[in-house]
Amino acid sequence: MLETPLTKLFRTTDTQKKALARLGLYTARDLLYYFPVRYGDFSKLSYVKDIKRGEQPIIYAEVKSIRAKKAWQSNMSMSEATLVDSAGDTIKAVWYSQPYISKMLPEGTAAKFMGTVGERAGALYLTNPEYDVIDKIPIEKSGDLFSEDKQELLLYPVYRETRGITSKWLYHKVKKLIADGALDNITDSLPGDILQKYNLPSLTSALVYIHAPKKMSDADAARKRFAFEEVFFIQLVKQDQKIAYQESGAFIINPDKAVLKKFTDRLGFELTNGQKDAVTQILQDISSETPMSRLLEGDVGSGKTVVAALATYATVTTKPTGQTFGSLQVGYMAPTEILAKQIFADFVELLGPLGISVGLITGKDCYKFPSKTEVGATKISKAQLKKWVANGEVQVLVGTHALISKGVFFENLGLVVIDEQHRFGKKQRAALRSKPQEKKEAVQEKTPTKITKKGLVDNTEILPHLLSLTATPIPRTLALTIYGDLDLTVLDEMPPGRKKVITTLVEPTQDAREDAYEKIRAELQNGRQAYVICPRIFEADPSKTKSLLVKSAVAEAKRLATDVFPEYKIGVLHSKLKKDEKNEVMRQFSKHEFDILVSTTVVEVGVNVPNATNIIIEGAERYGLSQLHQLRGRVIRSTHQPYCYLFADIKSETTKERLDALRTAKNGFELAEYDLQFRGTGEMMGNKQSGVSDLAMEAIKNIKLVEAARNEAQTIIQDAQLSKYPALKKQFEYVQEHMYLE
Ligand code: ADP
Ligand code: MG
């Protein structure tokens, strides 16, 4: 029954069919696994007639009338509405300094309002209520919704809806499925002893609990079970991958300490303790006969590139133990062309003077350093570059995805470095790692050789060592989960002498904005540059009232040029520009050909313009803290004092508290932990990055649960065939095939 199409199980209209498809619901299983996003509680809803001053009620109401006006004394602009609830009682709502609300909640809009009750001249009103727009006011206690179990069930599931399908409809269909026996022959993929050990409900109970809980603790237990299950299976797949890597061989790289000293002596600074530890770990990893799989995590500017360059230098200058051929090569893959060029430039600077040859390959062009004909790097043809990579003349190849395109073969790839690995698919990573294999198949040359400490063993697959770099600070529990196959090193200290970014929260009043602009003007006058980050590219469609407030990069650039900074030159960067255009804008900005770069979040990662020491982030309340932290990281690349201005529409204490963390937290990791705790507030963009469901993210707040899932997975995976657990094995294979975690 689980695989039966829903359309066979109950009658659906065409609109409903389309709606189901939009939600990805095709079979009975899909629907049973379509979990409520939350639970409503009828007993907690208030009516206008019952509320009192100082309370914070939740009221379902319709907007009867609304307008923008000036407050009588202060001349402050505001919105004022009259709301009517389902019992027909009315109450006023006011939003101070938010005249645009009158556009966002036109008359007739139904919404859930949450705000504090104030009182003026004997009349109660809601102050700055938050709201969730809904289709229509639900029928409550008195109505016929869930009438059969109205007596005991005050909790009701709320599902994500789409046009043509309501939450209520979904609930009735789920109940019908369960009543018709959908759960009767369902097999639980989690072994009974694990369920018992962690006090988790069986699959059947959990499915009932999650859709129709009698009490909140039932729903919680069910969610905990599904979260555990998801984390457990991710761990199982990751641990399996780890074992697979460890079965492969790798080149044993034991660099000469005196050679490494040549690298560090040239730096002109002392490595931080964090960098030294990272280097020690990496050197230990690559001296082993099993391939390294290490993730180096550190804030922007913490010195990851330097560590990667040192690992690269060690690899290309060391004759691996027991080898019979020339020297090893390194491939370095970056997520964007801008970043690849940046890394190429960094590597030419760090390694060029030490006599190392470096190539660059992007979708568009190729470069090589040193040049045979000129000083610096020369542009060469792709064919030429490929030839030099294949014969080992290019020792280090930096590139975008072009690096793993067909036909790029290394002579002897010893180390792969991947920047911001979450931007790459698993397949692409595997493709890079399997280069020697591919080469063998394509060129039919010498058989890869596994080198062990004892000598050579033929016919074993050799994988290059892998070093992954990320500036995306993620909480430890999430790292343990999605990078479960990697060893983790964290650079949690910054090189000395860095100035801390002075971060200011700017509320959306004219005065506060102008104040911030004046401070930036002073910095521009001192010769510095500035970023302005906007959440949108083009002017918002005014018919979509919700986006009215979101600044568009293009329109904002125009506005700043005419109204705010007419004396300065302004450029625009966004994702709709062609690659060439983007590169050109970045080149001009880094050459200070203009002063202010207005941009969407495309500048998020790794762009390095040391002279840009100011950043404004518009709509800051819309981003996760980690993302804000990364955006802010753009301005810490120089010795000048950096400034960050968070322009935010602060509607709630939580938002303020959250953004305040940016001023107080010591580093990105602390912020990532905050993000995790504040998750679910609906204020974050880019949640989907990790590929973990919202449900499992809840669980990831809980280190004990994650560690338990990890330990169980590590134990069970030892039984290589998973032979004792057929249901688990089936689920494992399914997850293995479908998991896409980046
Ligand atoms: P990341 O790649 O983590 O963003 P980089 O390796 O690019 O950081 O380093 C950022 C800047 O700091 C570079 O200009 C680099 O030369 C410098 N730097 C790195 N490590 C140190 C250090 N230990 N002391 C002083 N400066 C450093
Ligand atoms: Mg870097």
pLDDT value, residue 540: 53
- Ligand 1 pocket residue status of 305, Cβ below 6 Å: yes
Contacts of 276 (CB under 8 A, 6+ apart): none
pLDDT value, residue 612: 94
What is the mean pLDDT of the segment spanning 409-432? 73
- In this predicted structure, the answer to whether residue 675 has a pLDDT above a threshold of 50 is yes
For 250-392, strand residue ranges (E) read 293-298, 329-333, 358-361, 366-369, 378-380
User: pTM for this structure?
Assistant: 0.70
Query: 128-142, 437-451, 631-645: lowest mean pLDDT where?
Result: 437-451
- Ligand 1 pocket residue status of 275, Cβ below 6 Å: yes
- Ligand 1 pocket residue status of 633, Cβ below 6 Å: no
Q: Which of 305, 489, 632 to mutate to test the pocket of ligand 1 (most atoms within 8 A of CB)?
A: 305
Q: How far, in Å, is the centroid of ligand 1 from the Cα of 365?
A: 27
- Ligand 1 pocket residue status of 304, Cβ below 6 Å: yes
- Ligand 1 pocket residue status of 495, Cβ below 6 Å: yes
Residue spans of alpha helices (H) in 379-535: 382-390, 426-433, 435-443, 476-482, 510-525
Q: How far, in Å, is the centroid of ligand 2 from the Cα of 630?
A: 12
pLDDT value, residue 603: 57
Which has more pLDDT, 451 or 731?
Answer: 731
Query: 115-124, 260-269, 318-327, 591-600: lowest mean pLDDT where?
Result: 318-327
pLDDT value, residue 86: 84
Q: How far apart are CA 157 and CA 171, in angstroms?
A: 7
Give me the domains of the chain, ranges plus CATH numbers: 43-152 (2.40.50.140), 257-287+303-470 (3.40.50.300), 502-666 (3.40.50.300)
pLDDT value, residue 98: 82
pLDDT in tens, 525-563: 999 999 999 887 665 555 544 444 457 888 899 999 999
Closest of 645, 641, 650, 619 to residue 632, by C-alpha: 645
Residues of the chain with pLDDT > 70, as a percent, come to 86
- In this predicted structure, the answer to whether residue 521 has a pLDDT above a threshold of 50 is yes
pLDDT value, residue 331: 94
Q: How far, in Å, is the centroid of ligand 2 from the Cα of 278?
A: 15
Buried/exposed 35-49: b ≥16 CB within 10 Å, e otherwise:
bbeeebebeebbbbe
Q: How far, in Å, is the centroid of ligand 2 from the Cα of 397?
A: 16
Residue nearest to atom 27 of ligand 1 (CA): 495
Ligand 1 atom index nearest CA of 305 = 6
Which has more pLDDT, 312 or 487?
Answer: 312
pLDDT value, residue 138: 65
Burial class (CB in 10 A: 0-12, 13-18, 19+), 211: buried
- Ligand 1 pocket residue status of 269, Cβ below 6 Å: yes
* Tokens (6 digits) for 357: 């040859």
Ligand 1 atom index nearest CA of 306 = 6
- Ligand 1 pocket residue status of 298, Cβ below 6 Å: yes
Residue nearest to atom 15 of ligand 1 (CA): 303
- Ligand 1 pocket residue status of 470, Cβ below 6 Å: no
Q: How far apart are CA 165 and CA 175, in angstroms?
A: 16
pLDDT value, residue 373: 78
Residues with CB under 5 A from ligand 2 (ion): 305
Residue nearest to atom 5 of ligand 1 (CA): 303
Residues of the chain with pLDDT > 90, as a percent, come to 42
Residue nearest to atom 26 of ligand 1 (CA): 495
- Ligand 1 pocket residue status of 272, Cβ below 6 Å: yes
Question: Among the ranges 315-329, 463-477, 553-567, which has the highest mean pLDDT value?
Answer: 553-567
Residue nearest to atom 14 of ligand 1 (CA): 637
- Ligand 1 pocket residue status of 302, Cβ below 6 Å: yes
- In this predicted structure, the answer to whether residue 322 has a pLDDT above a threshold of 70 is yes
User: What string of DSSP letters covers 185-226?
Assistant: T---SS-HHHHHHTTPPPHHHHHHHHHS-SSHHHHHHHHHHH
Ligand 1 atom index nearest CA of 497 = 25
Residue nearest to atom 22 of ligand 1 (CA): 495
What is the mean pLDDT of the segment spanning 205-234? 92
pLDDT value, residue 452: 41
Query: 34-48, 262-276, 384-398, 701-715: lowest mean pLDDT where?
Result: 34-48
Question: pLDDT confidence of 679, banded at 50, 70, 90?
Answer: low
Q: How far apart are CA 724 and CA 728, in angstroms?
A: 9
Closest of 80, 82, 60, 79 to residue 133, by C-alpha: 60
Residue nearest to atom 19 of ligand 1 (CA): 303
Burial class (CB in 10 A: 0-12, 13-18, 19+), 458: exposed
Q: How far, in Å, is the centroid of ligand 1 from the Cα of 303?
A: 4
- Ligand 1 pocket residue status of 301, Cβ below 6 Å: yes
Q: How many CA atoms lie within 13 A of 521 on its CB side?
A: 12
- In this predicted structure, the answer to whether residue 148 has a pLDDT above a threshold of 60 is no
pLDDT value, residue 455: 42
- In this predicted structure, the answer to whether residue 574 has a pLDDT above a threshold of 70 is yes
For the chain, the helix, strand and coil percentages under 3-state DSSP, each to the nearest 5: 40, 20, 40
Q: Are 638 and 611 in contact (CB under 8 A)?
A: yes
Q: How far, in Å, is the centroid of ligand 2 from the Cα of 619?
A: 27
pLDDT value, residue 153: 44
- Ligand 1 pocket residue status of 300, Cβ below 6 Å: yes
Ligand 1 atom index nearest CA of 309 = 6
pLDDT in tens, 242-252: 887 777 888 99
What is the mean pLDDT of the segment spanning 443-467? 54
pLDDT value, residue 470: 87
- In this predicted structure, the answer to whether residue 694 has a pLDDT above a threshold of 60 is yes
- In this predicted structure, the answer to whether residue 144 has a pLDDT above a threshold of 60 is no
Contacts of 287 (CB under 8 A, 6+ apart): 252, 253, 254
Q: How far, in Å, is the centroid of ligand 2 from the Cα of 554?
A: 29
- Ligand 1 pocket residue status of 342, Cβ below 6 Å: no
Q: How far, in Å, is the centroid of ligand 1 from the Cα of 305?
A: 7
Question: pLDDT confidence of 56, banded at 50, 70, 90?
Answer: confident
Q: Are 35 and 60 in contact (CB under 8 A)?
A: no
Mean pLDDT of the chain: 83
Closest of 42, 82, 35 to residue 63, by C-alpha: 82
pLDDT in tens, 400-417: 888 887 778 888 889 999
Buried/exposed 216-246: b ≥16 CB within 10 Å, e otherwise:
eebbebbbbbbbbbbbbbbbbbbbbbbeebb
